């Protein structure tokens, strides 16, 4: 030991690592103790020795060393993770929550730390916060290929991960079903039977039975209603009034188009790679899908509405699908010459998409579920965008349609209200989990 003490800290550190590689942790511990005697502020030595104390269930000593390491080098994610675990082992739950929370502020992708934060929160009686941490931890881990199976889960974590998944499944089910309780009292349990079926599919408790193999919603599938790419116009009594406004809507559109700064990218991305995943061009120009929004994700664009007062006024009379932070989406959809919107799918069949064609050159069309529709100016078409669909403008002129979201007419009033509440709550939960909801 005396010989080791005479070595420099760097030499001792190299020797400690050799001991570890040789499977001699006791000798490594002795080397790190010598390092700490030479330099009490050596963080690596403090953390190693603290971890050894924790292995021996000497929690107070471990906490002291971890706290010292955090004081020497504040805000280090590894130290905070280890300190949080030591606090939890000692039963100091509030301190553990604080340390693990600070760890995740530094390293938000520490899914193991996030998992244990969920465990500590649940032990501390903060069940709702625990669920969001479990959800975030599991999603982040699985995105990196972990916790998908026994093989992709470290043996030491398997039981813990399985327990967290069970708590998460039970907690989300309780949370979302309790949300529907006031509506059960208002409309009766039978009125929400299909909503509960949709929720069980969303939660992975039941497999969807697709009535049409072309249909695959990306987010929420509502079962037990007719499935079809296009809907007949007689299902939408309001369509006549929308078409009757074609002339003044087009007039306001032309004013918008005369000031190109009014438009923005529909995809809202500056990344050519992101755009290339959905857009192609049939000519030498870059593809462009632009928009002039009246509503986006449920938010009303008041300034845009003021510039197109008659169009906005007409939209206000329509039975749009209102879901907090999701819908409606109403806009002038502007497709530049040569632009092809590649096949893609929408998020839910609870709402449908209507196009009112305003400027339609030749060689422009819409295809839904493999069935092609050629737009006619002033003539609406309504479709379910959870079927794979695409659109193209192969002409040398701009194509514009007015897009309007509306509820699927096969949903009852009770079901629409329940879906709006449910989707809003899912968004709240995912946001608390630091994830993004499709929709």
Q: How far is Cα 438 from Cα 421, in angstroms, rounded to an integer?
A: 16
Q: How far is Cα 8 from Cα 15, in angstroms, rounded to an integer?
A: 11
DSSP state of 261: G
List Cα–Cα distances, 141 to 85, 100, 153, 203, in angstroms. Answer: 19, 17, 10, 18
Q: 381 and 240 share a domain?
A: yes
Q: How far is Cα 102 from Cα 106, in angstroms, rounded to an integer?
A: 7
Report residue 240 as tokens.
């006549």
Is residue 188 domain-resident?
no
* pLDDT in the model for residue 2: 47
Burial of 243 (0-12, 13-18, 19+ CB in 10 A): middle
HEC per residue, 394-418: CCCCCEEEEEEEEECCCCCHHHHHH
214-245 pLDDT, tens digit each = 999 999 999 999 999 999 999 999 999 999 99
Is residue 89 domain-resident?
yes
Confidence label for 343 from pLDDT (cuts 50, 70 and 90): very high
| H-run or E-run covering 231 | strand 230-231
Is residue 216 domain-resident?
no
| H-run or E-run covering 95 | helix 93-106
34-82 pLDDT, tens digit each = 999 999 999 999 999 999 999 999 999 999 999 999 999 999 999 999 9
The DSSP-derived string for 115-131 is HHHHHHHHHTT-HHHHH
Q: Does residue 4 register a pLDDT over 80?
A: no
CATH number at residue 88: 1.25.40.10
Is residue 418 domain-resident?
no
Confidence label for 262 from pLDDT (cuts 50, 70 and 90): confident
Q: 42 and 110 share a domain?
A: yes
Rounded mean pLDDT of 268-290? 81
* pLDDT in the model for residue 437: 42
Q: 142 and 283 share a domain?
A: no
Q: 163 and 294 share a domain?
A: no
Return the C-alpha torsion angle 198, 200, 202, 208, nearest 10. Answer: -70
Burial of 332 (0-12, 13-18, 19+ CB in 10 A): buried
83-117 pLDDT, tens digit each = 999 999 999 999 999 999 999 999 999 999 999 99
The DSSP-derived string for 312-332 is HHHHHHS-B--BTTTB--EEE
Q: 297 and 401 share a domain?
A: yes
Residue 61 belongs to what domain range? 2-173
Report residue 13 as tokens.
């550190």
123-148 pLDDT, tens digit each = 999 999 999 999 999 999 999 999 99
Q: 318 and 169 share a domain?
A: no
CATH number at residue 267: 2.60.120.330
Is residue 298 domain-resident?
yes
| N-to-C CA span, the chain | 64
Is residue 7 domain-resident?
yes
Number of domains in the chain: 2
Is residue 196 domain-resident?
no
Cα 181–435–113 angle (5° rounding)?
A: 105
Q: 242 and 382 share a domain?
A: yes
| H-run or E-run covering 356 | strand 351-359
153-198 pLDDT, tens digit each = 999 999 999 999 999 999 999 999 999 999 999 999 999 999 999 9
Confidence label for 275 from pLDDT (cuts 50, 70 and 90): confident
Q: Does residue 368 register a pLDDT over 60?
A: yes
Burial of 73 (0-12, 13-18, 19+ CB in 10 A): middle
pTM for the full predicted model: 0.86
Q: 163 and 245 share a domain?
A: no
Residue that finishes a domain, picked among 140, 173, 206: 173
Q: 25 and 98 share a domain?
A: yes
Whether residue 59 contacts residue 90, with contact meaning beta carbons closer than 8 Å, is answered with yes
Residue that finishes a domain, picked among 156, 173, 190: 173
Q: 234 and 155 share a domain?
A: no
Q: Rounded to 5 degrees, what are φ and ψ at 393? A: -130, 95
Q: 383 and 245 share a domain?
A: yes
Confidence label for 6 from pLDDT (cuts 50, 70 and 90): low
Report residue 49 as tokens.
């020795």
Is residue 103 domain-resident?
yes
Q: 244 and 332 share a domain?
A: yes
Q: Does residue 337 register a pLDDT over 70?
A: yes
């Amino acid at each position: 030991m005396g010989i080791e003490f005479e070595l420099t800290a760097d030499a001792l550190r190299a020797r400690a690592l050799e001991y570890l590689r040789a499977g001699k942790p006791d000798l490594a511990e002795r080397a790190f103790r010598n390092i700490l005697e030479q330099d009490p502020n050596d963080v690596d030595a403090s953390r190693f020795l603290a971890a050894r104390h924790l292995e021996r269930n000497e929690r107070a000593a471990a906490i002291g060393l971890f706290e010292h390491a955090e004081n020497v080098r504040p805000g280090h994610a590894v130290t905070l993770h280890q300190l949080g675990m030591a606090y939890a082992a000692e039963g100091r739950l509030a301190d553990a929550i604080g340390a693990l929370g600070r760890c995740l502020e530094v390293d938000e992708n520490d899914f193991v730390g996030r998992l244990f934060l969920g465990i500590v929160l649940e032990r501390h009686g903060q069940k709702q916060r625990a669920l969001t941490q479990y959800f975030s931890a599991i999603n982040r881990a699985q995105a990196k290929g972990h916790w998908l199976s026994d093989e992709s889960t470290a043996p030491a974590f398997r039981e813990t991960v399985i327990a967290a998944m069970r708590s998460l499944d039970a907690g989300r089910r309780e949370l979302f079903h309790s949300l529907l309780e006031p509506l059960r009292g208002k409309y009766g349990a039978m009125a929400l039977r299909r909503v509960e079926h949709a929720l069980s599919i969303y939660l992975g408790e039941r497999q969807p039975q697709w009535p049409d193999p072309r249909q695959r919603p990306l987010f929420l599938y509502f079962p037990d209603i007719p499935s079809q790419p296009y809907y007949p116009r007689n299902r939408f009594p309001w369509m006549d009034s929308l078409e009757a406004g074609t002339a003044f809507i087009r007039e306001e559109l032309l004013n918008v188009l005369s000031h190109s700064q009014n438009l923005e990218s529909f995809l809202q991305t500056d990344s050519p790679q992101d755009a290339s995943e959905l857009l192609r061009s049939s000519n030498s120009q870059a593809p462009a899908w632009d928009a002039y929004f009246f509503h986006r994700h449920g938010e009303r664009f008041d300034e845009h509405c003021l510039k197109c007062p008659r169009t906005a006024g007409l939209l206000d009379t329509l039975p749009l699908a209102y879901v907090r932070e999701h819908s409606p989406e109403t806009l002038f959809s502007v497709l530049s010459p040569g632009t092809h919107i590649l096949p893609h799918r929408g998020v839910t069949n609870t709402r449908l998409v209507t196009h009112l064609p305003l400027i339609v050159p030749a060689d422009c069309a819409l295809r839904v579920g493999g069935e092609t529709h050629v737009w006619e100016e002033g003539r609406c078409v309504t479709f379910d965008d959870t079927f794979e669909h695409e659109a193209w403008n192969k002409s040398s002129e701009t194509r514009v349609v007015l897009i309007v979201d509306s509820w699927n007419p096969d949903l009852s009033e009770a079901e629409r209200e329940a879906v709006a509440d449910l989707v809003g709550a899912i968004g709240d939960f995912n946001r608390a989990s630091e994830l993004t909801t499709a929709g």
